């Protein structure tokens, strides 16, 4: 249905939660190295690696390698720097949702890459820094899936 891409994730429980989310929503998951953990780390396993068998997880050495393999029809980069909200998109099967590292977000060169259809933000109150990565992915994935009437649920 949709593809979730995590660019250089750093915190094992966040990635574990995203694995679980993808298993439950039918999304493929792509991870771009370097990762801030080993995929067999106990904290990752506790949070979601036991769901690994229920979703497709691929690891890539670069953003370009990920794009070549995932081949999304449209690619949306999530960033606090974006103006348009994630709800402004009419989500379509084949779309990919790209998220940055927990402490750095997406680098400018990735946000501005020619393959990126648009940058999106998740609205938050002023004065707060950011959402937890796995929460942000959940908010975006469930909005996209909601627009598809939760097909496959």
In this prediction the pTM is 0.94
Give the phi and the psi of residue 101 in degrees, each rounded to 5: -65, 150
**Rounded CA gap, 144 and 110, in Å?**
22
Domains of the chain: total: 1
Domain that holds residue 70: 3-147
What is the rounded end-to-end Cα distance, in angstroms, of the chain?
A: 12
Average pLDDT, the chain: 92
75-86: pLDDT as tens digits:
999 999 899 999
Query: In CATH, what number is assigned to the domain containing residue 71?
Result: 3.40.1280.10
Q: Look at residue 152 and tell me if it is in a domain.
A: no
């Amino acid at each position: 249905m949709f593809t979730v891409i995590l660019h250089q994730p750093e915190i094992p429980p966040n990635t574990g939660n995203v694995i679980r989310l993808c298993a439950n929503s039918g999304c493929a998951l792509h991870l771009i190295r370097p990762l801030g953990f080993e995929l067999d780390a106990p904290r990752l396993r506790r949070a979601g690696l036991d769901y690994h068998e229920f979703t497709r997880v691929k690891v890539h050495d670069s953003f370009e390698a990920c794009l070549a393999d995932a081949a999304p029809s449209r690619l949306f980069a999530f960033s606090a720097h974006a103006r348009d909200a994630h709800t402004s998109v009419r989500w379509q099967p084949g779309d990919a949702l790209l998220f940055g590292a927990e402490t750095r977000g997406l680098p400018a060169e990735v946000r501005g890459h020619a393959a990126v259809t648009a940058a999106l933000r998740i609205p938050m109150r002023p004065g707060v820094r950011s959402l937890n990565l796995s929460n942000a992915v959940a908010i975006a994935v469930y909005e996209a899936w909601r627009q598809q009437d939760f097909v496959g649920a």
